[in-house]
Structure 1
Amino acid sequence: MSGLTPLASGQVTPDIRTSELKQPVDIAEYLFRRLHQVGVRSVHGLPGDYNLVALDYLPKANLNWVGNVNELNAGYAADGYARIKGISAVVTTFGVGELSAVNAIAGAYSEFVPIVHIVGYPSTVAQKNNLLLHHTLGNGNFNAFANMNREVSCAMAMLNDPHEAATLIDDAITKCYLQSRPVYVALPSDMVTKKVEGERLNTPLDLAYSPNHVEKEEYVVNVVLKYLTAAKNPVVLVDACAIRHRALKEVDDFVTKSGIPTFVTPMGKSAVNETLPNYGGVYAGTGSNAGVRERVEGADLIISIGAIKSDFNTTGFTYRTSQLNSIDFHSYGVTVKYSDYPGVRMNGVLTKVTERMGKLNIEAGPIPKNVVPDHADNSDPTITQAWFWPKAGQFLRDGDIVLTETGTANFGIWETRFPKDVTAISQVLWGSIGYATGSTQGAALAAKELGRKRTILFTGDGSFQLTAQEVSTMIRHDLNPIIFVICNDGYTIERCIHGWDAVYNDIQNWNYKDLPAAFGAKPDRYKTYQVKTKTEVEQLFADKEFNEAPCLRFVELYMPRDDAPAALMLTAEAAAKRNAD
């Protein structure tokens, strides 16, 4: 009986520490209510015997249970959900469940995505007595899996003591949000019903960033303004950490008011309103859009915001820019040329720079358009990468959520200029094949909760086969994404790196459009299409029913096996050289 301590005579007396609670609430309910308070409405994951009782508490916190087909997909889905809603949660069971999810959690850690990973643990008594339990390594070590997760979590909350549990939960969720990285919450089965102080729930978590030191911020603002005013042909380059660390409003205000030619990196796609007249396209070194490389590398000042200079984000480290003419804004500080100002967060500095800057020297940059390049032969009916991606830009609408898989889609989307308020999701840094299909489920669910209409996935056939089961979860929750499976006979990105004709880059071809039916979708809840020519693509994009149907739409899109975006070829060549060193 919770809150009561048995006596030798069989009588019970109240636990003094529990009886002193003003508003007792079970730990699991406290945890889930906190998640609801920070914006989570649906919890991903799978049931397992160590988390089953905890899952009973979801309805008490007005949370929905998703129920994925495996833990890896659940982790990917939680990642996609977090990128739309700002934070997410995934529940797995001890050992076998959490390890299946750890790849997805590692990806979220590397790409700054906030996921609360809740793991159902064996009871504290079982742990203390080193019992030989299922899902363990059989050696009595119950910390082994937590230690594995420690490297991909910004906080660890081991809820082994009810008197610390509420504080640990609040701390973990706060760090998850503010650091924009996963946290690990271990919930032993006997702790689920233990009581904590529910009165704490009346005070919302403080999720505001700590303000910069006033004098330091003022100094940095003045230094930035000095160089910005003196520049003759500055540019702005926006990267992923502007998105992850919630600086998009400050970026939009700065870019709009300044009028400076503004570019994004591949990971920074959708960080900038691409309908602005000063938006210039994607900069990625040698893989840049037409005219972009010359403009960025010829600038006398580069305002870099939230940079992540990884290999795939820079076309194999082919940036040709100098720190001597760069100002770097980050969540952890600002660097002006070779002077570092740690602890001065970018948000506050950008706000003040925008408020105080006067008229600037502006030299116009390139203006990208969704126009098929001349070298894409329109007389040939074959759908090519160079032809397709500008056409995809014509198909997109304001407010779309667009997911691209690692491979041809991730690189092809560079050639697409987005309408207003499009959100792009990709995994350029971690690059786990199959990520995008799982992430689409989470993103589409988040979109449904927010009333956003279209979630669109572009993925290769090889990538899709890794996580295809998640289409089943989409059907189960009546989600309506538009899925394009690029059928080009295997792992194109791997072919580009090594083994163009090698058997290990081949796959078994599926009848992809038959999968919704195989997964049990009702006939009126999905539509399938097979597209093999440019004319068929144009007809599909012009089809009102395809664009607006309130059901899942699944497209087999055929492209040549040996075709790839030029940026992918350049990046793959650089990767092959590094691998050979």
Structure 2
Amino acid sequence: MRTTTVGEFILDRLKDIGITEVIGVPGDYNLSFLEQINAADGIRFVGACNELNAAYAADGYARQRGVGALLSTYGVGELSALNGIAGARSEHVPMVSIAGAPPLYATEYAWHLHHTLADGDYTNMLDAISQFTALAIRVTPMNVVEEVDRALRTCLREKRPVHIQIPSDITHLSIQAPEEALDTSLATSDKERLAAAIEAVLAKFKVAKDPILLIDQDADRHKFTPYLRAIVEKAQLPYTQLASGKAILDEQSPLFIGTYNGAQSAPGVQQRVEAADLLLTTNPRFIEVNSGSFTHSLREENKINFGDQHISIAGQYFEGINTLELLEELVERIPAATKKVADPKPKLSPLEIRKDAKLSHERMWRQILDFIREDDVVVAEAGTSNIGLSPLPMPTGVKYINSSIWGAIGFTLPAVMGSQLANRDRRHLLFIGDGSFQLTAQELSTILREDLNPIIFLLNNGGYTIERYILGMEHAYNDVQNWDYGALPKVFMQDTSMQSYSARTEGELAEILGELSSATHGALVELHLDPFDAPEGLKALGPLTAEFDYGPRGPRNDK
């Protein structure tokens, strides 16, 4: 054992799991811990403009690094961050949320303090946050070693956020802590259950005539992807994806058959997936927007589902399994295909630029696709941007980030900041609408202060396009105030290297994309679009959403 302090121990544990940045907002209850961050080696604090943005940024960081860390202060800070924490829970993103709390003696004796309800209740914040986390705890000098280790292991195992309150008066108290780094390895499988599951999977493969793999986001969260990639290549196994699992496996591969979305699937995909005599899944979670309004139909008797700690085969459950161990053995034992699958998909032809044509969703996204290159990080805001990009096959190695289930607008600007903090070597492209941008716009200042260089494509279409197509096409509640967006980088930082661009025509956008193809500086590219223009997918989604949300007697767009 070694002697250390409460705060230093927590920071050592964060470093053990790969965190080098803690993103958050200072507050009096966390300043003692912040002093320890400032004094520590190998980890630093990155201040965000507010706690919600910090939570979104920690989410983006986690999607790139594997886990992220958020720092807030009691009550006002925790609750401001709660929407972002809930989003991480919804999207299965591991996040360590830390909050400075009132002094331990004040909580024990129910003192009435600021940032509380002045009623002496110090359980309400943990009760509220516990609904959206895998674990919510307050530590003391006597339990901090056990509780922090339990929280971090839970976060990494369950791929959910956890929340840790640190009373402000204990951060510098001495404790005895283990010498060794935190062991985050998963428990090993029950040997008999693992062997039985592997044999059952191989038996199903042996008789299957048309097996297909269906990918969703848990494949990425639980680090299944390298094994699945090896399996599909070795067995020449065709695969599809939910919209919430976009680009986890290569969309350029001849084995990729398109996106499954129930009755709204890519042509031919629904029939093939639902007729497959063996369907492998990765814990898919169907909501209305990735299931064709619940028109999906997967036959349980033909399904093998890989969960994170279990596997089910045609309704038979195998518990006590570390699925990574199972997948690793499957890579070795699954039969190799005798021949490669030919690519039936026609290659996209380069878009012929119409120099003076106004930008339109019908053609702009295809023009954008030619700019995206292998291994980029593409961050797509919920709504117009994601719907515009979703049908397009991403280049090999692209990491695609969006809030496909939680769907919080404004998420992506802080998320691109967090993702690039976690990996400065990858080019980051953000696609965000003007309405979404205005929700979290101030985080552009942190992007500039941190000398990050994302290329931000801002769709200026005068408001909430996705909402217009649901209801209120021409109503003022879907409008937003037009800003001088191109001026904002220099407003936030006069000597910034980020440059601003503006395009109204295909020719202007082509020139900008040509200039940015080899740029190392950040960019804000304002794309001017008609307020009533939209991707075809959005035009179809709007009326379906109105039907679902408002019922047969509810309001509809007049046109």
Normalising by structure 2, what TM-score?
Answer: 0.93
Deviations 1:75-106 (A, max 9, x none): 00000001101111111001111110000000
Structure 1 residues 372 and 433: CA distance shift in structure 2, 3 A: farther
Partner of 1:126: 106
Deviations 1:465-501 (A, max 9, x none): 1001110000111000010011112111222222222
**Counterpart of 1:186 in structure 2: which amino acid?**
Q
Gaps of 5+ in 2: 552-559
Among candidates 522, 544, 559, match of residue 574 of structure 1: 544
**Counterpart of 2:463 in structure 1: which amino acid?**
G
Among candidates 358, 368, 376, match of residue 382 of structure 1: 358
2:373 equivalent to 1:397: yes
Deviations 1:200-255 (A, max 9, x none): 1x312221222222221222222222222222222211110001111111111111
Structure 1 residues 345 and 141: CA distance shift in structure 2, 3 A: same
Structure 1 residues 289 and 532: CA distance shift in structure 2, 3 A: farther
Structure 1 residues 428 and 366: CA distance shift in structure 2, 3 A: farther
Structure 1 residues 301 and 372: CA distance shift in structure 2, 3 A: farther
Structure 1 residues 364 and 290: CA distance shift in structure 2, 3 A: farther
Among candidates 367, 388, 393, match of residue 345 of structure 2: 367
How many residues align structurally? 549
Q: Is the 8 A contact 1:311 1:317 kept in 2?
A: yes
Distance 1:517 1:458 in 2: 20
Among candidates 417, 437, 454, match of residue 481 of structure 1: 454
Partner of 1:14: none
Partner of 1:227: 204
Partner of 2:143: 164
2:35 equivalent to 1:47: no
Distance 1:522 1:100 in 2: 31
2:143 alignment partner, SS class: helix
Partner of 1:336: 313
2:436 equivalent to 1:460: no
Deviations 1:351-392 (A, max 9, x none): 32332222559987753744589xx99698132223232332
Partner of 2:466: 493
Among candidates 389, 397, 406, match of residue 430 of structure 1: 406
Q: Is the 8 A contact 1:390 1:417 kept in 2?
A: no
**1:513 Cα deviation from its structure 2 partner:** 1.2
Gaps of 5+ in 1: 1-21
Distance 2:53 2:214 in 1: 33
Among candidates 480, 486, 490, match of residue 507 of structure 1: 480
Distance 1:62 1:90 in 2: 16
Among candidates 185, 201, 205, match of residue 208 of structure 1: 185
Partner of 2:63: 83
Pairing of 1:52-451 with structure 2 (within 5 A) = 52-58=31-37, 59-159=39-139, 161-198=140-177, 200=178, 202-359=179-336, 367=345, 369-371=347-349, 381-448=357-424
**Counterpart of 1:344 in structure 2: which amino acid?**
I
Q: Is the 8 A contact 1:492 1:561 kept in 2?
A: yes
Deviations 1:267-307 (A, max 9, x none): 21221123333123322223333443343334332222231
Q: Is the 8 A contact 1:498 1:576 kept in 2?
A: yes
Query: RMSD of the alignment, in Å?
Result: 2.2
**1:560 Cα deviation from its structure 2 partner:** 2.5
2:517 alignment partner, SS class: helix
**Counterpart of 2:13 in structure 1: which amino acid?**
R
Structure 1 residues 340 and 575: CA distance shift in structure 2, 3 A: farther
Deviations 1:421-477 (A, max 9, x none): 2111111100111101111110111122xxx23111001111111001110000111
Q: Is the 8 A contact 1:241 1:308 kept in 2?
A: no
Q: Is the 8 A contact 1:528 1:555 kept in 2?
A: yes
Among candidates 559, 565, 572, match of residue 529 of structure 2: 559
Partner of 1:10: none
1:25 alignment partner, SS class: strand
Structure 1 residues 564 and 337: CA distance shift in structure 2, 3 A: farther
Structure 1 residues 364 and 563: CA distance shift in structure 2, 3 A: farther
Structure 1 residues 393 and 255: CA distance shift in structure 2, 3 A: farther
**Counterpart of 1:391 in structure 2: which amino acid?**
Q
Distance 1:320 1:384 in 2: 35
Structure 1 residues 261 and 218: CA distance shift in structure 2, 3 A: same
Structure 1 residues 551 and 377: CA distance shift in structure 2, 3 A: closer
Structure 1 residues 146 and 483: CA distance shift in structure 2, 3 A: same
Among candidates 493, 499, 522, match of residue 527 of structure 1: 499
**1:503 Cα deviation from its structure 2 partner:** 1.8
Distance 1:527 1:261 in 2: 43
**Counterpart of 1:152 in structure 2: which amino acid?**
F
Distance 1:155 1:136 in 2: 21
Q: Is the 8 A contact 1:315 1:567 kept in 2?
A: no
Q: Is the 8 A contact 2:236 2:341 kept in 1?
A: no
1:212 alignment partner, SS class: coil
**Counterpart of 1:540 in structure 2: which amino acid?**
I
Q: Is the 8 A contact 1:440 1:457 kept in 2?
A: yes
Q: Which moved more, 1:44-53 or 1:415-424?
A: 415-424
Distance 1:208 1:541 in 2: 44
Structure 1 residues 166 and 557: CA distance shift in structure 2, 3 A: same
**1:153 Cα deviation from its structure 2 partner:** 1.3
User: Percent identical across equivalent pairs?
Assistant: 35
Structure 1 residues 535 and 286: CA distance shift in structure 2, 3 A: farther
Q: Is the 8 A contact 1:256 1:276 kept in 2?
A: no
Distance 2:114 2:311 in 1: 50
Distance 2:347 2:470 in 1: 30
Structure 1 residues 61 and 118: CA distance shift in structure 2, 3 A: farther
Pairing of 1:541-560 with structure 2 (within 5 A) = 541-543=513-515, 546-560=516-530
2:525 alignment partner, SS class: strand
Distance 1:572 1:328 in 2: 32
Distance 2:93 2:501 in 1: 33
Q: Is the 8 A contact 1:403 1:424 kept in 2?
A: yes
Q: Which moved more, 1:170-179 or 1:359-368?
A: 359-368
Q: Is the 8 A contact 1:292 1:366 kept in 2?
A: no
